[in-house]
Every structure is written in C-alpha cells, then in structure tokens.
Amino acid sequence: MKCNIQVCPGEYEQKMIFHTVSRNHEFFVFEDVPAEVCSVCGDTLLHPDTVRNIETLTRKRKAPERFAPVYQYS
Ligand SMILES: [Zn+2]
C-alpha cells in the first residue's frame, strides 16, 4: 500500500516495531508490535485491533517482561 504522506513515494511494509505509549506521566513500551511502516519516511500504521490490544494490556497492568531506564535529554 502506498504511503499516506502525500509527497512520499514509499510503500508500507509489515514490520515488528517497538511502540511506546504514555499515559498520565507513565510510559509503557511494547516490543514486537506488528505494524505497517513506510519504507521511505517511516510513517507507521497500527491495526485498530493492535491498538485495542495495547489499551487492554496497559489497563491490566500485567508485570512487565523487563524494565528500561528513562533519561531526560537536556
Ligand atoms: Zn512514506
């Protein structure tokens, strides 16, 4: 499928990505999320089912697989 960004000549490709969600000053990082990613500009599309699944996972507050440090860039 052609990229949604008007001037971009790229095509979306199925990839597994890292996806970060922030809510109320909390961050949730998801690994191996299936997404459509533009081969040129990197525009990313998530399927609505994937978005719903991520919402559910952040609400359930299941124990994470790993922890990651968060840095302030200044
Ligand atoms: Zn693009």
Average pLDDT, the chain: 94
CA 16 to centroid of ligand 1, rounded, Å: 17
Q: Note the pLDDT tens digit of each residue in 35-71.
A: 999 999 999 999 999 999 999 999 898 889 999 898 9
Tell me if 16 is assigned to some domain. yes
- pTM of the model as a whole: 0.82
Tell me if 73 is assigned to some domain. no
Copy the structure tokens of residue 39: 């081969």
- Whether pLDDT at 73 is above 90: yes
Tell me if 67 is assigned to some domain. no
Which residues sit with Cβ closer than 5 angstroms to ligand 1, an ion? 3, 5, 8, 10, 38, 40-41, 43
Tell me if 41 is assigned to some domain. yes
Which residues span the domain enclosing 37?
12-60
List all residues 6 or more positions away from 43 whose beta carbon is below 8 Å from its beta carbon: 3, 4, 5, 8, 10, 12, 37
Number of domains the chain contains? 1
